[in-house]
C-alpha cells in the first residue's frame, strides 16, 4: 500500500502571443498555458502522475487554485484504492457537493477535476507499464462501463447499451490493435491556418502539410468574409483538389450569420465548419447544421460535459464530434462521450494543439478504435506542430499519422526544466521580459485581428 504524499501545482505559460501562433477570430493573442499538477506517492517506484488544464494565459492561476481546492480529496489517501476504482474516484471529485456549486460540472472547477483524474490515470498507466491507450483497451467491457457516470445520460445511453457496444467490439480488438500499430491513426493539421498568418506563410505551410502526408488542413475563419474567401482560395491553390480543407470560426457567429457566411464558402468544398457559434447553443448548432448541409458541423473543444454532448447528438447538431483531453472531467468523462458518439454513430475527430493536447488526446482515439467504435474511417486527430519539445514523450506524427506511443503513462509529462523556465511569473522565460510585470493589452471590443502579421 502506498500513500499520496504530494500534489504539486504549477502555473506554466508560454509567450506564444509574440508570434501570433494560435490566433483566431476569438483568440487574437493567446499565451498557451497549462495549470499543471504532479501527484507523488511514497511507493518508492519513481512513478508520478502528471496532468494539466490547457488555458490561453490570464486566469491560469485561477485554474491552478481550483486544482489546489481538490487536494484534500487525494492527498494522504491510499493510492491503490483510488487507482483501483477510478469510477468511484471520479465521483468522489465530481460529486463534492460544495465544489459542485461552482459549476455544476463546467468551467474552471470541472476542468480542474479533469486534470486530477488525468494525472491519476497517468500514474496508473505508469505503474502498469503501459501507455494509457493500451491500458484502457485492455479493460473488460464491464470495467470500462464502471468508469462512466451515467447520471443524466440514461435517456440517451444506459449502462446496458454501453456494455452492448463494448461487447460487440471485443472480438476484433487484437486485430485492430495490430492495424493501429501498422497503420497509425490519421491526423490533420491546423498549422497553416492561423488567422494572424500572411497568405505567403499560409501557402508555404499548406504545401508543407501536403508534403508531410496530411489529408486535411484547417483554416481559421470568421473575422472578415473577404479575407476568408481569399484565404480559402489561396489554400486550395496550395494543396490542390485532393486535400480536404476544413474551416473553424471559433464561435464567432450567431445562427443566421453562420448560415450566410458558409453559403459564401460552400463552393470551395469545405470538409467541415467548426464551432460556428456558442458551444452552449445546442439548438443553434442544430439550426446551422440544417442550414449549411451538406457541409458537416463540427464542435466539442469547448463543450463542457457529457450532458451537453448528449444533447448535441440528440438534436443532430453535429456530424463531427471533437473531444478535448482537458475540457471535461478527464479520461472517465471522455469515455462516456466516446460511448455516446458510438451509440449515435457519429465520428470523433479530437481537438488538439495547445499545450500537450495532442500528447493527451491520441490515447483516447486509439482506445476508441480498438475497444469502442471499432472504426477509424474518416476520423482524424488534429495536429499542431508546436510546443511538443517540452514533453518527455512528444507525439510521433509522420506520414500524416499519429503513431501509437509506447512509453508508459498518459503522455502529459513535461520536462522539469520546462516547468522551471516557464513558471509564471517567476520563471526565467517570463522574468526576462516586460510581460512579467503583469501588464497586457486588453481587448475592449470583441477581438478581431483583421490584419495578418507575417512571421
Residue positions annotated with a catalytic role: 220, 351
**Cell reading at 427:** 520563471
Distance CA 358, CA 115 (A): 15
Radius of gyration of the chain (CA): 21
**Cell reading at 296:** 458537416
Among 251, 334, 365, 373, binds a copy of itself (CB under 8 A): 251
Q: Interface residues for a copy of itself in 221-250 (CB under 8 A)?
A: none
DSSP result, 165-198? HHHHHGGGHHHHHHHHHHH-EEEEE-GGG-TTS-
Contact letters (x/-) for a copy of itself, 386-425, by CB under 8 A?
----------------------------------------
Among 4, 108, 243, 246, binds a copy of itself (CB under 8 A): 108
Smallest distance from a copy of itself to CB 434, Å: 15
| 447 contacts a copy of itself (rule: CB under 8 A) | yes
| 110 contacts a copy of itself (rule: CB under 8 A) | yes
Choice between 97 and 434, CB closer to a copy of itself: 97
Smallest distance from a copy of itself to CB 429, Å: 17
Query: Alpha-carbon dihedral of residues 145, 148, 150, 154, nearest 10 degrees?
Result: -50
Smallest distance from a copy of itself to CB 136, Å: 24
| 65 contacts a copy of itself (rule: CB under 8 A) | yes
Distance CA 350, CA 287 (A): 23
Among 39, 79, 125, 153, binds a copy of itself (CB under 8 A): 153
Which residue is associated with the grid cell 451537453? 308
**Cell reading at 13:** 505559460
| 118 contacts a copy of itself (rule: CB under 8 A) | no
SS3 assignment, position 164: helix
- Stated as kind and residue range, the H or E segment containing 105 is none
Contact 140, 68 (CB under 8 A): no
Contact 270, 299 (CB under 8 A): no
Smallest distance from a copy of itself to CB 209, Å: 26
Smallest distance from a copy of itself to CB 225, Å: 17
- Stated as kind and residue range, the H or E segment containing 39 is strand 33-41
**Burial category of 121 from C-beta neighbours within 10 Å (exposed 0-12, middle 13-18, buried 19 and up):** buried
Q: Interface residues for a copy of itself in 307-336 (CB under 8 A)?
A: 307-308, 310-311, 314-315
Residues touching a copy of itself, count (CB under 8 A): 74
**Cell reading at 299:** 464542435
Distance CA 313, CA 332 (A): 19
Contact 272, 258 (CB under 8 A): no
Question: In angstroms, how far is the first alpha carbon of the chain from the final one?
Answer: 53
Q: Interface residues for a copy of itself in 293-312 (CB under 8 A)?
A: 302, 304-305, 307-308, 310-311
Smallest distance from a copy of itself to CB 302, Å: 6
Choice between 206 and 323, CB closer to a copy of itself: 323
Smallest distance from a copy of itself to CB 408, Å: 29
Query: Which among 162-170, 232-240, 254-262, 375-383 is the span making contact with a copy of itself, rule CB under 8 A?
Result: 254-262
Choice between 25 and 210, CB closer to a copy of itself: 25
| 102 contacts a copy of itself (rule: CB under 8 A) | yes
Q: Interface residues for a copy of itself in 272-291 (CB under 8 A)?
A: 277-284, 287
Query: Which among 55-63, 117-125, 330-338, 356-364 is the span making contact with a copy of itself, rule CB under 8 A?
Result: 55-63
Among 57, 141, 329, 353, binds a copy of itself (CB under 8 A): 57
| 256 contacts a copy of itself (rule: CB under 8 A) | yes
Quickly count helices (H) and strands (E) in the chain: 18, 13
CA 180 to chain CA centroid, Å, is 20
Choice between 332 and 373, CB closer to a copy of itself: 332
Amino acid at each position: 500500500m502506498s500513500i499520496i504524499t504530494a500534489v504539486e501545482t504549477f502555473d506554466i505559460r508560454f509567450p506564444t502571443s509574440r508570434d501570433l501562433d494560435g490566433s483566431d477570430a476569438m483568440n487574437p493573442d493567446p499565451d498557451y498555458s497549462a495549470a499543471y499538477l504532479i501527484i507523488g506517492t511514497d511507493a518508492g517506484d519513481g512513478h508520478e502522475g502528471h496532468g494539466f488544464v490547457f488555458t490561453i494565459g490570464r486566469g491560469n492561476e485561477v485554474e491552478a487554485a481550483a486544482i489546489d481546492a481538490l487536494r484534500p480529496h487525494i492527498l494522504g489517501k491510499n493510492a491503490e484504492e483510488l487507482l483501483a476504482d477510478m469510477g468511484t474516484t471520479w465521483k468522489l471529485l465530481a460529486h463534492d457537493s460544495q465544489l459542485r456549486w461552482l459549476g455544476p460540472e463546467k468551467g474552471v472547477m470541472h476542468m480542474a477535476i479533469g486534470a486530477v483524474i488525468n494525472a491519476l490515470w497517468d500514474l496508473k498507466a505508469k505503474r502498469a507499464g503501459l501507455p494509457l491507450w493500451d491500458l484502457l483497451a485492455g479493460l473488460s467491457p464491464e470495467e470500462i462501463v464502471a468508469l462512466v457516470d451515467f447520471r443524466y445520460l440514461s435517456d440517451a445511453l444506459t449502462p446496458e447499451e454501453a456494455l452492448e457496444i463494448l461487447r460487440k467490439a471485443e472480438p476484433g480488438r487484437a486485430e485492430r490493435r495490430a492495424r493501429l500499430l501498422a497503420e497509425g491513426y490519421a491526423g490533420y493539421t491546423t498549422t497553416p491556418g492561423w488567422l494572424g498568418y500572411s497568405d505567403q506563410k499560409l501557402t508555404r505551410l499548406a504545401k508543407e502539410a501536403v508534403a508531410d502526408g496530411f489529408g486535411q488542413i484547417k483554416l481559421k475563419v470568421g473575422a472578415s468574409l473577404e479575407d476568408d474567401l481569399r484565404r480559402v482560395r489561396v489554400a486550395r491553390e496550395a494543396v490542390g483538389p485532393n486535400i480536404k480543407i476544413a474551416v473553424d470560426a471559433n464561435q464567432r457567429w450567431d445562427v443566421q450569420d453562420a448560415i450566410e457566411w458558409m453559403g459564401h464558402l460552400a463552393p470551395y468544398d469545405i470538409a467541415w465548419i467548426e464551432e460556428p457559434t456558442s458551444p452552449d447553443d445546442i439548438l443553434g448548432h442544430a439550426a446551422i447544421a440544417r442550414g449549411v448541409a451538406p457541409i458537416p458541423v463540427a464542435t466539442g473543444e469547448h463543450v463542457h460535459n457529457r450532458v451537453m454532448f448528449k444533447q448535441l447528438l440528440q438534436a443532430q447538431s453535429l456530424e463531427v464530434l471533437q473531444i478535448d483531453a482537458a475540457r471535461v472531467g478527464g479520461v472517465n468523462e471522455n469515455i462516456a462521450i466516446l460511448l455516446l458518439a458510438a451509440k449515435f454513430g457519429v465520428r470523433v475527430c479530437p481537438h488538439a494543439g495547445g499545450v500537450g493536447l495532442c500528447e493527451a488526446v491520441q490515447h483516447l482515439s486509439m482506445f476508441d478504435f480498438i475497444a469502442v467504435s471499432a472504426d477509424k474511417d474518416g476520423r482524424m486527430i488534429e495536429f499542431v506542430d508546436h510546443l511538443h519539445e517540452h514533453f518527455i514523450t512528444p507525439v510521433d506524427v509522420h506520414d500524416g499519422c499519429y503513431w501509437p506511443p509506447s512509453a508508459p503513462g498518459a503522455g502529459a509529462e513535461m520536462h522539469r526544466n520546462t516547468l522551471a523556465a516557464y513558471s509564471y511569473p517567476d520563471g526565467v522565460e517570463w522574468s526576462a521580459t516586460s510581460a512579467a510585470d503583469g501588464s497586457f493589452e486588453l481587448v475592449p471590443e470583441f477581438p478581431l485581428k483583421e490584419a495578418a502579421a507575417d512571421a
